[in-house]
Amino acid sequence: MTAFADLGLSEQTLLALQDVGYEQPSPIQEQAIPPMLQGQDVIGQAQTGSGKTAAFGLPIIEHVDPDLKEVQALVLTPTRELCIQVTQAIRAYAQRKGVDVVAVFGGAPIRSQQAQLRAGGQIVVGTVGRVLDLIQRVSLVLHDCRFVVLDEADEMLDLGFLEDVEKILSLTPNSRQTALFSATMPPPIRKLADRYLYDPVHVKVKSATMTVDSVEQFRAEVKGPDKADVLVDLLRAERPDQAIVFVRTKIRCDQLYKKLRDRGMNVKALHGDMSQGSRDGVMLAFKAGRLPILVATDVAARGLDISTVTHVINYDVPISPDVYVHRIGRTGRVGRAGRAITFVEPRQQRELEAIERHIGTSISPWSPGAHTAPAKVEERPRRHSKPQITRNGDEPYAKLIAGAGRAAGIEVADLVHAVTGAAGIDGEAVRDVRVLEHFSFLSVPSSEAERVVAAVDGTDVRGTPVRVELART
């Protein structure tokens, strides 16, 4: 089995990896780190949760000179959430080397980010729009930028950012080293790679479904108001050595932590609004085994790869099947058995079915002492009582963007119901629904797209009038 020490990383970086609990490299890390250390351009095709942040973050840290204050590396991300995740991860890897990592993204005061850039920042992680804004204000200068990463490039395409990405790339040195990471490789992304990468090494790994074999998976069907009580009963029945309880938002993280604490449990919260010192204290206690239960958001738990985690509990259903795989991968590590239990509210059956199709297994009902391994299935039976329209799988689809997301309390089922109700199309015709913080994506048959936009635009979803339009490509 390959170790990080076999990949050509320095002793300082290997110690930093020990600090964050990393043991063995993932496939994308094993294949991408050596050519990137050798200065080659790389195209990495991998799903979310595959460990790609370390795949490009570690070589960047090896190349950056902490004695030079200029910006030496730029990581472009499509969303604020991913920008924060990547920044937190690279900061953890860079801690021993003393490299300064600055995050720049929209929705936050630009002046404070300008001040951070004036104070230093050898590595800048940023969203496309804010990076371009700072360049135009001459607050971000890329003359000495030797390393550029495009992370989640296909999502940048979805958001219509490729033109701005090309502007940014044109302002970096021709001698830079470039890495592009993307879950898929549609033609515009291939064209971008052909134009801006030089003789790249192409690394491709499959979606991280290998965790399924070592993790027993269960679902607990609960009503929203009962979730905290059911969780307490579940934790007492399961008696985990260590458990991570995942929630969707920082507010829910604090609320649940206080409820469990008030029930006498040894528990801490971990989310992005906590100070760096507080987060470090919680992570150190958890890694040392002094803390049995951690309530965490997905962003804050980034980098928590700890072999002693016996349970993952999805208190809130993950926002996508890939996030589900990433979460349950926190247990069942290094050959150990793990258990993952997902709380499912009555209106979340569609999300559960999407997860089951993605992982290729049915998720068994949880009961105290349940130890039945998941069985392979093709697909769960339909729950619909009325006839459904069968669609050709090759039918062309159009992507739509909706101007509301998790911040407005929107969930996948809400969007599907809004579309089927307003436009009168079959729910199975609504595909690839992704709910991000402030907006969402969904796909409908191209022949129905304009009619769906006209019918759904302005519809009230969970008390929010939602604007819908065709996504730019």
441 and 400 in contact (C-beta within 8 Å)?
Answer: yes
pLDDT at residue 334 in the model: 54
Query: pTM of the predicted model, to two decimals?
Result: 0.52
CATH class of 4-204: alpha beta
Query: pLDDT tens for residues 142-194?
Result: 999 999 999 989 888 877 899 999 999 999 999 999 999 987 788 899 999 99
Q: Which residue has the higher pLDDT, 224 or 383?
A: 224
pLDDT at residue 246 in the model: 93
In what side-by-side order are the strands of the sheet with 338-344? 267-270, 293-297, 243-247, 311-314, 338-344, 215-221, 364-365
pLDDT at residue 247 in the model: 92
Highest mean pLDDT among 39-48, 138-147, 260-269, 310-319: 138-147
The model's confidence at residue 392, banded by pLDDT at 50, 70 and 90, is: very low
Identical fold between 4-204 and 397-470: no
pLDDT surpassing 60 at residue 411: yes
Q: Which CATH architecture has domain 397-470?
A: 2-Layer Sandwich (3.30)
Query: pLDDT tens for residues 120-130?
Result: 889 999 999 99
Cα–Cα distances in Å, from 370 out to 42, 184, 241, 242? 45, 37, 17, 18
Write down the domain spans for the chain. 4-204, 210-365, 397-470
Average pLDDT over residues 284-301: 82
The model's confidence at residue 303, banded by pLDDT at 50, 70 and 90, is: low
pLDDT at residue 471 in the model: 78
Cα–Cα distances in Å, from 123 out to 57, 216, 221, 276, 409? 10, 40, 44, 18, 34
Q: By mean pLDDT, which of 22-26, 98-102, 115-119 is the weakest?
A: 22-26
Query: pLDDT tens for residues 90-116?
Result: 998 988 888 999 999 987 889 999 999
Find the DSSP H helices in 369-431. Answer: 412-423
CATH code of the domain occupying 210-365 = 3.40.50.300
